[in-house]
Amino acid sequence: MNMSKLNIAAIQLNSQPNLDESLGQCYSAIESAAKSGVNLIALPENFAFLGDEIQKQQKGAEISENVLDVIPKWSKEFNVTILAGGFPVPVSNGKVYNRSIICDATGKIVASYNKIHLFDVSLTSDETYRESETVEAGDLTPTVCTLSSENLGSITQDPFNVNLGMTICYDLRFPELFRELTNLGSEIIFVPAAFTQPTGKAHWEVLLRARAIENSLFIVAPAQTGTHGSKRKTHGHAMIIDPWGNILSDAGTEPGFAMAAIDLNLISEVRQKLPSIHHRVLPG
């Protein structure tokens, strides 16, 4: 059997509506995870700036310029691949994309994804979100990045490729996206998020495990936690979940990271034992 193992960290942050402070948190978290021997590090949604949507829209150019400068530098510095999981990129109509990128260990940006499903909900009279007012939805093309082990960082085993599927936060509630990413060959699907406290408590873990189980693959979900600015609160619990639905690591509610060593061969083992992915009778 070919060895196809990765050490992965899903970072958990308490980002603030302060670009320099939040990027400083990111650097420290990446440094700590890299020292733990990981090859692949995933940052959560709004890692560089977590304020209200108007603030994020207004600062979009500054945020994206800084992110696109530092993430390639950090990837090279620590010899790791980084999934930078959601930051604003200005669009010509005045809105921003909510964009995620993958930067390999050579410092090359090898994939990007603009969030498709926008978070327009009214949880309570005091907690309402209208992401579509400031964010432009991405096109409906699912994004899968194929990355070779030689570009993942400190791999000392036989060469292999890994297929990485990209989503952001609210996308988690739409299983058809995950199924299409699976159809396109994804072995790991990222879910960088800033889940609210009420929705996170109710649905975060169960939805992550469901997406892993129904598609028989790994889910890596970096997260935001705590209070951001004066009002916004997030759930935490960054997680790494295997194809059987087991939680390999859970970061709890404090800043830090979930970390796990995963073997991609487990995907084929699970699909042989329980081949539900091959028993589909309806299209999709």
Residues annotated as part of the active site:
45, 115, 169
Nearest 5 degrees, angle CA 283-CA 205-CA 232?
Answer: 115
Nearest to residue 138, comparing CAs of 195, 73, 202, 89? 89
The strand ranges marked E within the chain are: 5-13, 40-43, 81-90, 96-103, 109-114, 120-122, 128-130, 144-148, 161-166, 188-190, 218-221, 223-228, 232-235, 239-241, 247-250, 256-263
Rounded to an integer, what distance in angstroms lies between the CA atom of residue 88 and that of residue 70?
15
- Residue 123, Cβ neighbours under 10 Å: how many? 12
Q: Which residues pair with 121 in a beta bridge?
A: 129
Contacts of 131 (CB under 8 A, 6+ apart): 53, 98, 118, 119, 120, 170
Nearest to residue 108, comparing CAs of 134, 139, 82? 82
Q: Which residues pair with 162 in a beta bridge?
A: 147
